[in-house]
C-alpha cells in the first residue's frame, strides 16, 4: 500500500508539472495571438496607406505588399497551429494522467477498505 501511495504522490507531481506546462503553452499561444492581432492591425493600416498612394501613383506597391502580408499571415497561422498542437498534446497527457490517478486512488481505497482501515 505504501508503494501505491508513493505512486499516487509521484503522479500528482507529474500532474502539477503538466499543469505548469499547460499554463506556459497557453500563455505563449495567447501572447502570439495578441501579437498577430497587433500585426494584422498594422498591416491593415499599411495597406490603407498604400491604397491611397496607389490612387495617386499607380499599383506597383500593392503586389509587393500583398505578398508580404500573405507571408506574414501564413507564418502567424503556422505558429498558432504549432502552439495549439502543443497545447492539445499537453491536455491529452493530462487527461491520461488523471485516469491513472483515479485508478490508483480506487485501488488504494479498495486496499484500505479490504484491510479494515
Contacts 24+ apart (CB under 8 A), 29-32: 29/80, 29/83, 29/84, 29/87, 32/76, 32/79, 32/80, 32/83
Digit-by-digit pLDDT tens for the chain (117 residues) are: 788 889 889 989 999 999 999 999 889 888 888 888 888 888 888 878 877 777 666 555 667 777 787 888 888 888 889 989 999 999 999 999 989 988 888 888 888 887 655
- Structural domain boundaries in the chain: 2-114
pTM of the predicted model, to two decimals? Answer: 0.60
pLDDT at position 57 is: 61
Amino acid at each position: 500500500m505504501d508503494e501505491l501511495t508513493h505512486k499516487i504522490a509521484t503522479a500528482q507531481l507529474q500532474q502539477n508539472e503538466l499543469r505548469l506546462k499547460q499554463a506556459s503553452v497557453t500563455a505563449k499561444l495567447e501572447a502570439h495571438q495578441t501579437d498577430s492581432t497587433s500585426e494584422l492591425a498594422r498591416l491593415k493600416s499599411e495597406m490603407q496607406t498604400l491604397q491611397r498612394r496607389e490612387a495617386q501613383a499607380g499599383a506597383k506597391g500593392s503586389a509587393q505588399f500583398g505578398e508580404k502580408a500573405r507571408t506574414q499571415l501564413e507564418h502567424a497561422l503556422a505558429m498558432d497551429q504549432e502552439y495549439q498542437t502543443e497545447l492539445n498534446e499537453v491536455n491529452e497527457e493530462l487527461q491520461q494522467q488523471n485516469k491513472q490517478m483515479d485508478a490508483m486512488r480506487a485501488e488504494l481505497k479498495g486496499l484500505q477498505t479490504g484491510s479494515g482501515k
